[in-house]
Copies of this chain bind each other. A is one copy, B any other.
Amino acid sequence: MPKTLIDVDLAQSPYDNPMIHNRWHPDIPMAVWVKPGDDFVLETYDWTGGAIKNDDSADDVRDVDLSTVHFLSGPVGVEGAEPGDLLVVDLLDIGAKDDSLWGFNGFFSKKNGGGFLTEHFPLAQKSIWDFHGIYTSSRHIPGVKFAGLIHPGLIGCLPDQALLDTWNKREIDFIATEPDRVPPLANAPFAPTAHMGKMTGEARDKAAAEGARTVPPREHGGNCDIKDLSRGSKVFFPVYVDGAGLSVGDLHFSQGDGEITFCGAIEMAGWVHMKVSLIKGGMAKYGIKNPVFQPSPLVPNYKDYLIFEGISVDEQGKQHYLDVHVAYRQACLNAIEYLKKFGYSGAQAYSILGSAPVQGHISGVVDIPNACATLWLPTEIFEFDIKPNASGPIQHIKGDIQMPLSQDR
């Protein structure tokens, strides 16, 4: 039986657990040490550390303090790991905690975080998803059920000081280009809510003041929100510091490509069973800058898709140059309009796209001036037929069930 190296008590604040941290910094001490070849279990909080509840109000989503995220378990030190190595991580299994068989999906208020379609859904909303073995369904979104493609939204190794400095300069300079933007362009270090693991005192304060926020994916991986980093996959991470310092958190029971709802996928507390090994000098050997990975042989196998196209002309008819972000937004909006014909509210449709195993493909990026993106919606997750036919759509969803919404204060 694999050893659980980091325990998480969901009734305890993550700030009180020294094996948790919420910033990236090379000085964060290893929470535990392992040897290459070891396999072990790490428990994790949900990304907000328990701020979002299993209830029918979106107030918690509206009011969340986003400077506190993401609560990560680690860092795990791997004996013998040195800068330039590749840390090979086998994600042997991933699951929810037995006392927490549910997850949440939501949209942040535009004033507090926003999201991909924040102009269309500017208020906080929430849906709760219950787990039934490998399946999930929501009491807030009828007619849909699917098998989870469980994965950590966030996983990666500690940066060294040079990489950290690069990140901070890059992002702080970027924020400075439009400092008053809501939502902001990026998140600067913020010491007050930083949780630096075992660090205390002055050292903690110094590191907290420059510790990188965990929101974006970066060179080391981090918050990639790649739905395919699922159990059974094998990931090759760049190593920047002695011991590597692997941390993980932000588990998702399921997510669509893009994690478009931002808050987020189907977010959950849980555990990861993993095994680590090393490829010495692997970064140079293979020319690797960002992580690479191999997918699992064991993933939900939906294949009867309805595919929506979008191009890089925005909702106001404005032309953008090969902009895949805009194109994907159009594909998503097209899918939402389509699902509304079956009775879903726009919010419910948006939530489905954020949480179901939806694929987002970069279909064309060279045909000036329009990029083309496609959103692949698996039809098998619905309890009724959503494919087009000559008779037109049937309004299966009656509108009596709605997603909780909270007005801005």
Contacts and interface: CB of A to CB of B under 8 A. Distances in A.
Interface size, A (range):
35 or more
A185 B368 contact: yes
Nearest to A385: B385
Contact of A362 (B285, B305, B362): B362
Which of A185, A217, A371 lies at the interface centre, i.e. has the most chain B CB atoms within 10 A of its CB? A217
Interface string A367-389: 11111111000001000010111
Interface string A92-128: 1100001101000000000000011000000000000
B328 A308 contact: no
B287 A297 contact: no
A362 B258 contact: yes
Interface in A257-295: 257-262, 264, 273, 275, 277-282, 285-295
Contacts of A282: 388, 392
B368 A286 contact: no
A341 B306 CA distance: 30
A86 interface: yes
A48 to B, nearest CB: 15
A290 B330 contact: yes
B93 A134 contact: yes
Given A92-B132, A92-B133, A365 B232 contact: no
16 contacts: A88-B388, A166-B317, A185-B321, A187-B368, A216-B311, A264-B366, A277-B390, A286-B393, A287-B341, A292-B306, A293-B306, A293-B307, A301-B301, A303-B303, A361-B361, A362-B362
Given A116-B366, A133-B231, A322-B325, 6 more contacts: A39-B133, A88-B388, A115-B366, A216-B367, A258-B364, A288-B338
